[in-house]
Structure 1
Amino acid sequence: MNLRIVNYGAGNIKSIQFAFQRLGYEAKLTSDAEDLLKADKVIFPGVGEASSAMYKLRESGLDELIPQLKQPVLGICLGMQLMCKHTEEGNTKGLGIFQTNVKRFTDQVKVPQMGWNTITQLKSNLFKGIDPGDFMYLVHSYYAEDCNEKIANTHYELDYASALEHENFFGVQFHPEKSGKKGEQILKNFLNI
């Protein structure tokens, strides 16, 4: 399988690559448009700050390329947030793939949310073999608002969309690559879509 990870300088790429290696696949890092267009599956990772990450995407033209991809694309953490319309982090316009906005948790809770939390209201083939209430690993201060594209829910201060799906695009707020066997199952499911 021709598996590619979008290289735009934001993300803990090694843990994603190791997770796919454990499943028997090599995920290559690239920012080359042709390479991404030819891939069977694309991973859009992200750890960092939204406005600087978006700047890097615009600088390389990846901001225009990613929404045009026709194969399954999985956004992880900041990657998912950048696929939304807008994020409060740095007052940043996103790629507009998902029709929701990203807000910051209030100071009423510990920010960032760091550690294990449950996913519920599962609505996608991405979650085959995953049970409502299974735990995933999260590290984030911003969340995607509830919307029609929500395929998983998590509660932290409020209910928010911890996973989204629109056509060939999937996004997860949690880190499947750091979520043990259940996270590995989600990556396997993505490869089978």
Structure 2
Amino acid sequence: MPSSRQKIAVLDYGMGNLHSVASALQKVAPADEVVLATTPEQAQGADRLLVPGVGAIRDCMAGFVEAGFVPLLRDAIDSGLPVLGICVGMQIMMRRSEENNGVDCLDIFPQPVKFFGAGLRENDERLKVPHMGWNRVEQTRAHPLWSDIEDGSRFYFVHSYYVPAENNADVAGRTEYGVSLAAAVARENIFATQFHPEKSADAGLQLLKNFTAWNGRT
């Protein structure tokens, strides 16, 4: 863990209850300052940014833009600040989503966000959409955020749209649910998960703890 007190900014753009994320961060990093930032000014001086998100992509993108967080996020990425995206906070970093009849996203990662679709099946079993509950995550490459987390650990998912894992150079973790989906993506100082680490018991808390100690390099 870094020796000095850090400021961790959780970006609050009106999408979802963020208190569980903030509480989980405070639990794993009790000496740090965790801020729910509703404006870019409140996030200034942060040592790391967390981008959460729950809900429809159109509303999430609109809220993120209206809050003024796009320049903040891009500046953080360019400066090498560690960034963690969670759930729709991961999806808004993609190129475009099929949700809401198609929504352009931030295009930080070039992949699309696709709908699971009707008739999703695995081993002749019909799968429910949304994908909701615990599922195993295969760590497809080493990363500091996987430190002390056993490969194949279960994490908690809630989503109807997914980022494909196939032909995706940014995949850091993979999950099977009728299709092979990106459970986590990573590039330089960005790590983002489709699952909710704050709802994923010990493995999720370990990932958040790893984030608070990560220097943004792999």
TM range (shorter): over 0.9
Q: Secondary structure at the match of 2:61?
A: helix
Aligned alpha-carbon RMSD (Å): 1.3
- State yes or no: 1:150 paired with 2:171: yes
* Residue in structure 1 matched with residue 202 of structure 2 by the alignment: 181
- Unmatched segments (≥5 aa) in structure 2: 1-5, 120-126
What amino acid is aligned across from residue 208 of structure 2 in structure 1?
A: L
When the two structures are aligned, how many residues end up with a matched partner?
193
Q: Secondary structure at the match of 1:95?
A: coil
Report the structure, 1 or 2, having the larger strand content: 1
**Pick aligned residue for 1:141 from 160, 168, 176:** 160
* Residue in structure 2 matched with residue 164 of structure 1 by the alignment: 185
Q: Is the 8 A contact 2:7 2:48 kept in 1?
A: yes
- State yes or no: 1:85 paired with 2:95: yes
In the TM superposition, 1:92-131 aligns within 5 A as 92-108=103-119, 109-123=127-141, 124-131=143-150
- Unmatched segments (≥5 aa) in structure 1: none
TM-score, normalised by the number of residues in structure 2:
0.84
Cα gap change, 1:159 to 1:116, in 2 (>3 Å): same
Deviations 1:104-123 (A, max 9, x none): 10212311111000000342
TM-score, normalised by the number of residues in structure 1:
0.95
- State yes or no: 1:16 paired with 2:21: yes
**Pick aligned residue for 1:4 from 2, 9, 31:** 9
Q: Secondary structure at the match of 1:84?
A: coil
Deviations 1:72-93 (A, max 9, x none): 1101001000011111112111
- Deviation, 1:33, is 2.0
d(CA) in 2 for partners of 1:17, 1:39 = 14
- Deviation, 1:170, is 1.1
In the TM superposition, 1:39-58 aligns within 5 A as 39-58=46-65
What amino acid is aligned across from residue 21 of structure 2 in structure 1?
A: I
Cα gap change, 1:67 to 1:145, in 2 (>3 Å): farther
What amino acid is aligned across from residue 166 of structure 1 in structure 2?
A: R
Percent identity, please. 39
- Deviation, 1:9, is 0.4
- Deviation, 1:148, is 0.3
d(CA) in 2 for partners of 1:21, 1:34 = 21
Deviations 1:52-76 (A, max 9, x none): 1111122232223312213111010
d(CA) in 2 for partners of 1:63, 1:88 = 21
d(CA) in 2 for partners of 1:5, 1:13 = 8
**Pick aligned residue for 1:36 from 43, 48, 66:** 43
Larger Cα-atom Rg: 2
